[in-house]
Structure 1
């Protein structure tokens, strides 16, 4: 499911296994998380 707000497109991930995979990849490849550079919203 997607929705658009201006230039932003929001995707909804319904399968928790995919969210786990994405979180793992984010943790491995985005070591600067929490520095205020970029965003990671886990709704």
Structure 2
């Protein structure tokens, strides 16, 4: 529930949720993007 009420929560909670989102992006989405686009994504 707190995740959906993040905008009304103290800043530290927002920061924690944002950190979780960044971790997900870094660990899941970036590898996926690199796998799909490969060198094109890296500008090579």
TM-score bracket for this pair, using the shorter chain length: 0.3 to 0.5
Q: Taking structure 2 as the reference length, what is the TM-score of the superposition?
A: 0.34
Q: Taking structure 1 as the reference length, what is the TM-score of the superposition?
A: 0.35
Larger Rg: 2
The structure with more helix, counted as a fraction of residues: 2
The structure with more strand, counted as a fraction of residues: 1
